[in-house]
Every structure is written in C-alpha cells, then in structure tokens.
C-alpha cells in the first residue's frame, strides 16, 4: 500500500494468488521496484484535494495528527520494551520515499523470537528481512540508524492512503501509533472531507500501474482499488502479527 502511495499510483489492477502477499525483504523496496518495472502511465490530472480541518486521534500516549499541507511527515518511535527513542521526519515525502523510506524493514524484539518460533510464525523472515531489537540496541545490521522509526512511517503512509489523498498534500505527525490508530485517522479524514465538500469529485486519477493502458479503460474509483490491496495487506499482517509489531504493542483504539 505504501508503495502505491509513494509512487502516487491511484489506479491499479492487483491479483493475489494465495492467502497473503509475499513479505520479500520486509520493506516496500521490492514492491516499488516491481511497480516501476511494470511502468507508470498517466491517467489524468484530477486529484482529490484534502480540504478538511485538522484530524487528531489520541489514545493515552498514542497520537496521530493529519492536516492539509505540503508533504511534511514525522514519526516518533518510542517503546516501553526498547529504551532507544527515535524520530524520523521527511519534508518531501514523495521525493524522499524511494530512497529514505521504502527500504526500511519491519522489526521484532529479540525476547519475543523464541515464542514466535515455537508457534511456527514468521516463516521466511530472517536477519536480512527484519530488524531485531535487543536490550542493548540492534542485534543485526540495519539499513538506517533509525530504521524502526522509518518503517513505522512507511506503515503510516500506506494506512493513511486509504483516505485517497495524495500524500504530498498532507502534513502528518504521529507518535507510538500503529495500524489501528492510522486507519482511524484515515477514516476521520475521509468523513470530514465528505462533510465539507459533498459535491467534489472523490475519484482522483493520476498514474496507473499498467503501462500502455488507455485512459478510458481505467475508470475504476480509487476506493475499490485500495480496498482490494488493503484486504491482501491485512492478510499478510494478520499471519505474522506476533512477529511484526502491529498488535502486541498497541492498544485497540478503534
């Protein structure tokens, strides 16, 4: 989902064979490369402008703030199980996405690994596809000194793209948040947009992930596309929930 958002793809046909998407290297890097290999084609210039008042979601220390802006995104990574605070900020979310955000891999706490292995979860993941967080710091090599924070921002980008707005037209700040808080924020953004501009076109169209496709053959609304991709993405997250940091480390705020 983040790969589509970072490349500003609004129309795509995606087929999934099997119960989940491949984890690949634990980041969005290979998905970005795959989309670029297919090629992007212009399907128009109409965009959904994020005209709504600031959205703020909070549950104790979990915070997500979204407003219309110029593509400034910030994520603060803090965990009671890991004493190293991190913050990553991008002032050009689209321009920096491919090199600075997409390659950031998922992570897991070292003390959780035995239980994960005992349950038979996390198959296919190893030291190259996940960052392991130990009590004294990183257990394996990292791509960025603040890779966990960057990966959380990667998650945030994909989740907020469910609202259908170009990520370069949003300013976003989040701390300690996970998928549930992100989706709640996306839902609030979409609801406020509809209430504020009920007559505006809510079917943005910019790029297609099918090179050579004619513009008139891609009339599908972005909502249907995002729901399809989101379904497949949640299947992947659900199967690895004890390895990835999604559910064990965030309260349910939905």
Distance in angstroms (rounded) separating the CA atoms of residues 44 and 47 = 9
Is 249 a catalytic site residue?
Answer: no
Neighbours of 207 (CB within 10 A): 19
- Catalytic-role residue among 111, 151, 179, 182: 179
HSE-up (13 A, CA, CB side) for residue 70: 2
DSSP of 162-173: GG---GGGEEEE
Distance in angstroms (rounded) separating the CA atoms of residues 70 and 95 = 12
Those residues whose C-beta lies under 8 Å from the C-beta of residue 150, and which sit 6 or more positions away, are: 75, 88, 100, 101, 104, 144
HSE-up (13 A, CA, CB side) for residue 18: 7
Rounded alpha-carbon distances, angstroms, from residue 106 to 51, 153, 155, 187, 233:
32, 11, 9, 24, 14
What are 251's two structure tokens?
A: 């309260």
Active site residues: 179
């Amino acid at each position: 989902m983040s790969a589509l958002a970072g490349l500003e793809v609004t129309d795509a046909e995606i087929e999934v064979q099997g119960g989940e998407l491949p984890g690949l290297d634990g980041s969005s890097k290979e998905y970005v490369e795959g989309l670029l290999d297919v090629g992007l084609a212009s399907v128009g210039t109409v965009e959904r402008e994020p005209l709504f008042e600031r959205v703020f979601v909070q549950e104790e220390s979990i915070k997500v703030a979204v407003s219309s802006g110029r593509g400034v995104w910030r994520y603060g990574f803090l965990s009671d199980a890991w004493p190293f605070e991190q913050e990553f900020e991008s002032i050009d979310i689209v321009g920096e996405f491919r090199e600075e955000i997409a390659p950031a891999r998922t992570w897991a706490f070292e003390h959780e690994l035995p239980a994960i292995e005992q349950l038979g979860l996390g198959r296919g993941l190893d030291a190259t596809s996940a960052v392991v967080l130990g009590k004294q710091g990183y257990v394996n090599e990292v791509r960025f000194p603040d890779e966990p924070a960057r990966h959380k921002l990667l998650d945030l980008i994909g989740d907020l793209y469910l609202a259908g707005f170009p990520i370069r037209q949003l300013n976003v700040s989040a701390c300690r948040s996970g998928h549930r808080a992100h989706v709640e924020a996306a839902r609030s953004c979409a609801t406020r947009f509809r209430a504020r501009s009920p007559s505006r076109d809510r079917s943005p169209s910019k790029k297609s992930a099918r090179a050579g496709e004619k513009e008139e053959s891609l009339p599908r609304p972005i909502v249907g596309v995002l729901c399809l991709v989101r379904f497949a993405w949640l299947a992947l997250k659900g199967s690895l929930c004890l390895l990835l940091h999604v559910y064990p480390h965030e309260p349910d705020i939905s």
